[in-house]
Amino acid sequence: MEHRLEAPPVMTSSGPIRSPHQDLWDTVLSQLDDVAQRLNLDPDIHKILRRPERELTVSIPVVMDDGHIEVFTGYRVQHSSARGPCKGGIRYHPEVNLNEVRALAALMTWKCAVVGIPYGGAKGGVQCDPSQMSPDELCRLTRRFTAAIMPILGPRRDIPAPDVNTNPQVMAWIADTVSMLEGKAVMEIVTGKPIPLGGSLGRREATGRGVAIVTSELLKRQNRRLADTTVAVQGYGNVGSFAATILHQMGCKIVAVSDISGGLYNPAGLDIPDINRHVANHPQHLLEGYQAPGVDHITNDELLVSDVDVLIPAALEHQIRADNAPHIRARMIVEGANGPTTREADQILQERGTIVVPDILANAGGVVVSYFEWVQDLQYFFWDEAEVNRNLETIMRRAFAEVWDFCQEHRVPLRLGAYMLAVSRVAEAVRSRGIFP
């Protein structure tokens, strides 16, 4: 079985073409540099925050089902432990590389800081194509990867979670591997586990629920009634579907939704419970084939420029770009996905007066409930779903209020304000702890 390997850089007369992951890491660094300048950050602390604390690259030999051995490359990057143990997902994808993992680890540091939970940021990944691998091959890959990075993991050191192409089953394999090697149950080594192994109730819905809570807080500050608000949601996976469902329950009118198969639009409002039943019964869990009176079929591009009050991009990164940003009619954007808006588009939206709630705040509900899962595991005391949701709402509402007030005081957009607040909190932790030895 062949597996996709990272290609060498393409050369031009002016040198190598930069990969998008290099650009992502450079973007993260340039954002930090901009924020550091605005905060008048201590140059020594700035230097510390520009570098991950620890980077581990591992080779992962795996016996494939046909008997041959494939060697994969895996990464775990810990950006900062200044505010607590490192936290971040593990992704399986052919395009995974060190720069991508570095960037995502740093973003996790800011995300945890902006919502005020006691974690630093980490990220991990394996360069592989899981769609071309059997469950047994994925199990062996996961267990060998876990053994390779285990020296830097720990429930008070670094706690992984699911990310792209990983799920509760992968987390169960990680927890079991660590438990077998240590000779004791260490279920708190990961979050996003199956419920019977110490997973938290409400975790699956948490990111979408957080997006909905943040949206309602934004509308409150715009003096808008939920019932008078129209919403479009791009991406109807785990995040988008729960955000749409919960906002619908709150009273918002969801007029457009979309996924990879296309979109649905009804200016009078979509029947979200009926759409959810269709998706649940679809073989690939898609919107494809849904029909209802008054519902038109639209493209993802058409959804992004639809005439709505709130746009929630909850699909892939870089969906809002310089070419379509001038045509976006939504007055408010709440980023359910990671990095859905390019820097050029963000500048265009800012100049047009569009309010953008950044991803590090808007979609932080997932890591907040991961934190709850970790706390429950450490205490061996579990909460009911109502308590999880109540505590999530408290943290998300408080975090939004802190960012909003900070931005009003400093007269900066929400994205910049969220980063300034996050970086200042991490910097204060570094300053307070001092430099060892």
Which of the residues are catalytic? 123
Question: Could you give the CA distance from residue 123 to residue 137 in angstroms, rounded to a whole number?
Answer: 22
Please give the helix or strand (H or E) that residue 303 lies within, else none. Answer: helix 300-304
Q: What is the DSSP letter of 341?
A: B
| DSSP states of 133-189 | S-HHHHHHHHHHHHHHHGGG-BTTTEEEEE-TT--HHHHHHHHHHHHHHHTS--GGG
Answer whether 282's CB lies under 8 Å from 237's CB.
no
Q: How many residues does the chain have?
A: 437
Question: Could you give the CA distance from residue 236 to residue 147 in angstroms, rounded to a whole number?
Answer: 35
Helices marked H in 222-342: 238-250, 272-281, 300-304
CA distances from 166 to 79, 218, 343 (A): 21, 32, 28
Backbone φ and ψ for 233, nearest 5 degrees, come out as: -125, 115
CA distances from 328 to 337, 352, 353 (A): 17, 10, 11
Question: Could you give the CA distance from residue 196 to residue 96 in angstroms, rounded to a whole number?
Answer: 31
* Amino acid found at 114: V
CB contact set of 2 (below 8 Å; sequence gap of 6+): none
